Structure 1
Amino acid sequence: MRSTVEDEEPQERGLAAVRSLSAVLGEISGISDCRGPLRRMYCDLARRVKLLSPLSDELKDSACEELIGEKEVGALSKLLDVLVSTKEFLRSVNDGSKLYQALQWERYTKKFQDVTDQIEKALSALSYNKFDIPEEVLEQIELVHAQFQRAKERMELPDSQLLTDLSLVRNGNFDHTVLKRLSEKLHLRTINDLKRESIALHEMVISTGGDPEDCMEEMSTLLKKLKDCVIGENPVLESLDNQTCLMKHRSPVIPDEFRCPMSLELMKDPVIVSTGQTYERSCIQKWLDAGHKTCPKTQQNLSHTALTPNFVLKSLIAQWCEANGIEPPRRHGNCRDKKSAGHSDCDGAGINALLEKLRSRNQEVQRAAAGELRLLAKRNADNRVCIAEAGAIPLLVELLSSPDPRTQEHAVTALLNLSINESNKSSIVSAQAIPKIVEVLKNGSMEARENAAATLFSLSVIDANKITIGTAGAIPALIDLLCQGSPRGKKDAATAIFNLCIYQGNKVRAVKAGIVVHLMRLLNDPSGGMVDEALAVMAILASHHEGRMAIAEASPIRILVEVMRTGSPRNRENAVAVLYSLCTGDLQQVTVAREAGAEEALKELTETGTDRAKRKAGSLLEVFRRALDS
C-alpha cells in the first residue's frame, strides 16, 4: 500500500488543475463578444468552450474523491494548458486590430483551426469514466466534443466582398462607397471605434517591437481614410470640423493621451519604451541619460532602453492638430519633475526618513512612523510600490514582535495594505513574515488579530503560501477569531480559512482543530450574519473524507434541508453540495435526508436553483432513487 502522501499527491495536483480549469472557463465566459472580420469564428469557438463549464463544475467534486491518478492529472493539465492558450488567443482577437485581422485573414483562420484541434485532442485524452459525472453532463460534453471534431475539419470561407474592397484600397482606390463598406464590415463605424482601433495598432507596435509585417504605414493611411469617411457620414462631427476657424481663437483642450506624461506637453515625436508607455523622445532620453533604469510613469524596471517610434499616435496627433486648426508642436516641452505629472504623494526622501524612524529605539517614534506608513500604503498603488522598494517590509516585519500593541497593529496593517500589490506578497513572505503574523493572530489586540487574518488571506492567494500558512499554525488561531472576533473579524477569519482549505492538507488541520462544531453553531444562528461564510467553508471541507465524517457526526442534515428551502441562491447551492457529499455512498445519510424532507426541497431546487444547484439536486435525487432500488 502506498503512503498517504503518495495517495494525495496526484489528487492535490488534480484539484489544483480543476480549480484553475474552472477559473479559466470563467474568464473566457467574461470576455465580451467580438466584432470585426473574425466575429463568426470567434463566437463559434467561444460558445463551444463555454459549454465545457458544467464539466469543470462536476470535476471539482469527483476529483476530490480518491479516484484520480497520474494519467487523469496529466489529461487535466493538458486541457488546462490548451484552454489558457485559447483564452489568450480569444482576448488578443477581441482586443486586436480589425484592419490587421482582415489583412491577415488566412493566418488567423489557420490559428482558429489549430486551437480547435488542440482542444479536441485534449478532450479525447480525458477518461470520463474515471470521474463520477452525471449522465446529462456527460451527454452535453460528448456533444461539445463532437462539435470540436467537426469544426477542426471545416475551413471558414473568407468574405469575398471584404477582400475585394481591401484590394481596391491597397491599390489606392479610396472611393467613398468602398470605404463605407469597409467601415461597416470592420465595425469601425464611429469615432470611438476608430480610437479603439488606433490603440490596438499602437499595442501591436509595442508587442512586435516595430512595424508588424511592414504594413503599419498602409494601415495608418487606411485608418485616416476611414476616419474621414466616418466624419463625412456624421453631420455633427462634420459641422465641428467646419468650425475650425472659430477654434483658432480658443485654446483647445489637448487629449491626455496626446500629452507626454513627463512634460505634460503635446508630443511631437512620441516613442514607446519597453513597458509600453509612450513619452516625448527628448524627455525620456534625458531621463535615460541621467542614469535611470525605470519607467517614469509605472516605476517598472526597463528590460531595455530602445525607443520605438509610435507612428499611429504621431499620425493621430497630426490629425487632431489639423482638425483644431493649430500647428503641430515645433519645440519639445521642458521636462518637469516626474512628481509634478503624477498623482502619488510618494516622496522618496520622506519615506526614507520614516524608515529611519522605524529603526529608532524610541517606541513612540517607531509607533508614529509605522502609523504613517500604514496610511501611505493604504492611499494608492504608487505608494505601495515606493514603500516596498525603499526597504520598509523587513523593518515592518520586525515590528510585528514589538511589545507595544499599537505599534504592532500599525505594522501588521501596513503589511496588509502593502500586500495588495502582487509583487509585495512574495517580498513579505521572503522576509519570514508568516510566523510572526500568525503570532500576532494568536496574541495581539483584537484589531491586530483581525488585520493579521486579512493579511494571511491576502498572502494565501498564492497557492504555495497556503501550505506555509497552514504549517505555521494559523488555522486554530483563525478558528478562535471566528468564534471571538467582531463581525468584521469573523468574516475575515472565515474568508482566510476558506482560501487556505483549498489545499487538502489544511482541510485536515481545520477538521482536527474542531471547526465543524463552530460552523454548526454559526449555521444555527442566522442572526449572527455568518451563515453564508459557514456554508461556504463547510462545502469545501465536505470534499475531503475526514471533513465529511466530521460533518456527518454533527448531524447537519436538518439545517441543510432548511437552507435548501429558504436560503439565498448561493447558500442553497452550497447546502445541496454538502448534502450530496454526505449521501453519496452512505445509505444511512440518505435515509436521514429523506426523513428530513430533502426530496421535496431537491425537486424544487431542480426548478429554481442556480445551474450548479440544479445539477447537484438532480444527481442527489438519482442517488436517492438508486438507494431505493437496492
Structure 2
Amino acid sequence: MVSSREPKNRRLANELQLKTLAELEAEVHALQNLMEKHNPEVDGSLEQMLDLMKQMKKALLVGSTERVTALHEEPLSPSDTESICATMIPDDYLCPISLEIMNDPVIIATGQTYERANIQKWLEENRTCPKTSQVLAHTTLTPNFVLRSLINQWREANGLEISAVDSISGAAHNSSNSCSGDSTIDELIAKLSSRQIQDQRAATAELRLLAKNSAENRIRIAEAGAIPHLVALLTTHDVEVLENAITALLNVSIHDHIKGLVVQAGAIPHIVTALKYGSMKARENAAATLFSLSTVNEHKLTIGALGAIPPLVDLLKHGSPQGKKDAASALFNLLIYQGNKPRAVRAGVVKPIIALMSNSQAGMRDEAVSILALLSTHEEGRRAISRISLVPALMSIFHDGSPRTKENAAAILLALVFDNPQHLTTAGRLGIKKHLVDLVQSGTERAKRKASRLLEHLAMLQAE
C-alpha cells in the first residue's frame, strides 16, 4: 500500500515539471552546486529543498541498472510511480553525492560512505569529504563490505537485481574473487590444503604479497576463510611455507578487525613455537605478528600466558638488528599488562634491555628506555633494575635524549629512589641537578612532575 506522502511527492514532481529521473537529477546537481557557494542567506532553504528532492528521487529509484536507464528515457506513469514508491530505499543505501543506490560503497578517511565511482570523480579535484567538508587525511578508499551485503540483501528481498560489483582497485573483477593474474583467493586457499609442498609454497607466497600490498586484499583474504588454513600451516616442517604463512598472517593482522580472527583460529601457540624454533626470518616475523596482535588489550594476557615472553627475550639477545627491534616492540606492548612484567623479569629481560640502552650503535635507546620505564612500575622489575649500575646510562639520556626518553629516564630514576636512595646520591655526584632543572623548565608535563620530585628528594639527601 502506498503512503499518503508518496502521492504528494508525485503531484509535486508533476507541478515542478520533473517527470523523469534525468530531470530530477539535474535539479539535484544544480542545488548542490548552489550550496557549495555557502551563501548564509539561502543555505537553510537550499538544504530543505535538497532534502525534498532527495525524497522525490528516492521515490523514483528502483536500483537496477536496466530500470534506472528506462527512467532516464521515459516519463513515469502513475502506475510506475505507485510500484516504485512501494519499495522505499533506506537513506543509508544511497550515495550522498548522487542520491542513487550504491553498487560499490567505499569508506573514506572521515568514515563516510560513497559510491566508488562518484567519490573517485570528486577526489580528482577535491581533498575534502563532500558530506562533512573535512579535509581528508588520506584518499584511501576502503570497501564497505557490510553495507554492500545489506544492500544486496535488500535488493533480493524486493525482487531487484543484485549488484555484481566486486572490485579492489576500482575496476570490476574478471572473477568473483580475482586478485592476481588468473589466480583467485579461493584457488589459493585450495592450494594451502594441497599435499603438494610446491602448491603450499606458491599459495602462501602469493597470499603474503597480496596482503602486504592492499588493505582491501587483507579483508578479502580473511573473508574468504584463509586464516584457519594459514594457521594450520604453522605446524609445517617446511621452512619456506612456515615463513610465508607467518608473514601472511602478519600482513592480514594489520587490519584491526582481522586480529581477533587470527587469535580465534588458535594462531598464538603456533606463532610462539615458531618464535622458539623457527628460522631467523620466521622468528622475526613471529615477533612482528605478536606485536601486531598485542595492540588489542585482551590479547596481551593471552600472548603472555601462552609463553611468548621468554623467546622474545631470547630474540633480544641473539636476533638480527631487525629481530631485536621486532622483539622490543612486541615486549613493550605486552608489558603494558601488569601481569606480564614478572614474566619478563624472570625471563631475564633486564640485562639485554640495558645493554641495548647503553649501546648507541644499536639505535634502540628509546625503545629500551620505554621498556625499562614499564618494568620500573612493578616491584620485581625495580629490584632487577636496581641490581645493575644503571645511573651512568641514564645520565647519558638526560644529556642528549629526546624529550620523551628524558621523561622516561626521570620516571625510572624516581622509581628506583623509592627502593634505594643511593641511586639518586650517585646521580647527584654525576651532575643530575642541572638536567633536572632543565626538565622542570622545558620538559614534558610528566617529565616536569618527575623532575620536581627528584629535586625534592635530592635536596633532602644533600641536607642530611
- Following superposition of structure 1 onto structure 2, how do residues 6-85 of structure 1 map, counting pairs within 5 Å? none
Alignment of 1:592 with 2:439, yes or no, is no
Per-residue deviation at 1:595? 2.3
Amino acid at match of 1:348: N
Q: 2:267 aligns with which of 423, 433, 437?
A: 433
Separation (CA, whole Å) in 2 of partners of 1:347 and 1:485: 42
Q: 1:339 aligns with which of 135, 156, 167?
A: 167
Query: Which aligned runs of 4 or more in structure 1 are off by greater than 4 angstroms?
Result: 191-198, 216-219, 221-224, 265-287, 301-307, 343-347
Partner of residue 321, structure 1:
none
Per-residue deviation at 1:549? 0.8
Distance 1:391 1:448, change over 3 A: same
Partner of residue 144, structure 2:
298
- Following superposition of structure 1 onto structure 2, how do residues 368-407 of structure 1 map, counting pairs within 5 Å? 368-407=202-241
Per-residue deviation at 1:278? 5.1
Alignment of 1:354 with 2:188, yes or no, is yes
Separation (CA, whole Å) in 2 of partners of 1:558 and 1:193: 68
- Following superposition of structure 1 onto structure 2, how do residues 441-452 of structure 1 map, counting pairs within 5 Å? 441-452=275-286
Partner of residue 198, structure 2:
364
Partner of residue 518, structure 1:
352
Q: CA offsets, 1:18-70, max 9 Å, x none?
A: xxxxxxxxxxxxxxxxxxxxxxxxxxxxxxxxxxxxxxxxxxxxxxxxxxxxx
Q: 1:483 aligns with which of 294, 311, 317?
A: 317
Secondary structure of 1:361's partner? Answer: coil
Separation (CA, whole Å) in 1 of partners of 2:99 and 2:217: 27
Separation (CA, whole Å) in 2 of partners of 1:415 and 1:391: 12
Alignment of 1:538 with 2:366, yes or no, is no
Separation (CA, whole Å) in 1 of partners of 2:393 and 2:103: 68
Q: CA offsets, 1:586-629, max 9 Å, x none?
A: 33233222223222221222234333222221121112223445
Distance 1:222 1:282, change over 3 A: closer
Per-residue deviation at 1:492? 1.1
Partner of residue 47, structure 2:
220
Secondary structure of 2:194's partner? Answer: coil
Separation (CA, whole Å) in 2 of partners of 1:369 and 1:540: 41
Distance 1:341 1:462, change over 3 A: closer
Contact in 2 for aligned 1:272/1:279 (Cα 8 Å): no
Partner of residue 611, structure 1:
445
Secondary structure of 1:563's partner? Answer: helix
Per-residue deviation at 1:496? 0.5
Amino acid at match of 1:358: L
Q: Percent identity?
A: 43
Contact in 2 for aligned 1:516/1:538 (Cα 8 Å): yes
Partner of residue 119, structure 2:
none
Q: Where in structure 2 are there 5+ consecutive unaligned residues?
A: 1-31, 52-62, 73-83, 106-114, 117-142, 156-161, 179-183
Q: 2:415 aligns with which of 566, 581, 594?
A: 581
Contact in 1 for aligned 2:315/2:324 (Cα 8 Å): yes
Separation (CA, whole Å) in 2 of partners of 1:482 and 1:197: 58
- Following superposition of structure 1 onto structure 2, how do residues 162-561 of structure 1 map, counting pairs within 5 Å? 218=45, 220-221=47-48, 274=92, 297-300=143-146, 337-339=165-167, 342=170, 348=177, 350-561=184-395
Per-residue deviation at 1:498? 0.3
Contact in 2 for aligned 1:475/1:510 (Cα 8 Å): yes
Partner of residue 8, structure 1:
none
Q: Which has the higher contact order (CA 8 A, sep 6+)?
A: 1
Contact in 1 for aligned 2:310/2:347 (Cα 8 Å): yes
Contact in 2 for aligned 1:272/1:278 (Cα 8 Å): no
Distance 1:401 1:625, change over 3 A: same
| TM-score normalized by the length of structure 2 | 0.67
Separation (CA, whole Å) in 2 of partners of 1:282 and 1:276: 5
CA RMSD of aligned residues (A): 3.9
Q: CA offsets, 1:272-304, max 9 Å, x none?
A: 6647855978765999xxxxxxx9941115568
Per-residue deviation at 1:550? 0.6
Per-residue deviation at 1:366? 0.6
Q: Where in structure 1 are there 5+ consecutive unaligned residues?
A: 1-190, 199-215, 225-259, 288-294, 308-333
Separation (CA, whole Å) in 1 of partners of 2:97 and 2:46: 22
> Which is worse superposed, 572-581 or 393-402?
572-581
Distance 1:566 1:274, change over 3 A: same
Per-residue deviation at 1:446? 1.2
Q: CA offsets, 1:413-453, max 9 Å, x none?
A: 10011111222111111111000011111111111111111
Per-residue deviation at 1:467? 0.7
Point out the structure with the larger helix share.
1
Distance 1:611 1:400, change over 3 A: same
Per-residue deviation at 1:519? 1.2
Separation (CA, whole Å) in 2 of partners of 1:340 and 1:437: 30
Per-residue deviation at 1:221? 4.3
Secondary structure of 2:237's partner? Answer: coil
Distance 1:562 1:393, change over 3 A: same
Q: CA offsets, 1:353-373, max 9 Å, x none?
A: 111111100011111011111
Separation (CA, whole Å) in 2 of partners of 1:223 and 1:624: 69
Q: CA offsets, 1:446-475, max 9 Å, x none?
A: 111111111101111111110110011111
Contact in 2 for aligned 1:366/1:407 (Cα 8 Å): yes
Distance 1:285 1:542, change over 3 A: closer
Secondary structure of 1:420's partner? Answer: coil
Separation (CA, whole Å) in 2 of partners of 1:193 and 1:452: 55
Alignment of 1:572 with 2:406, yes or no, is yes
Per-residue deviation at 1:485? 2.0
Contact in 2 for aligned 1:603/1:617 (Cα 8 Å): yes
Secondary structure of 2:389's partner? Answer: coil
Contact in 2 for aligned 1:482/1:494 (Cα 8 Å): yes
Separation (CA, whole Å) in 2 of partners of 1:625 and 1:276: 69
- Following superposition of structure 1 onto structure 2, how do residues 118-157 of structure 1 map, counting pairs within 5 Å? none
Amino acid at match of 1:447: K
Distance 1:336 1:505, change over 3 A: closer
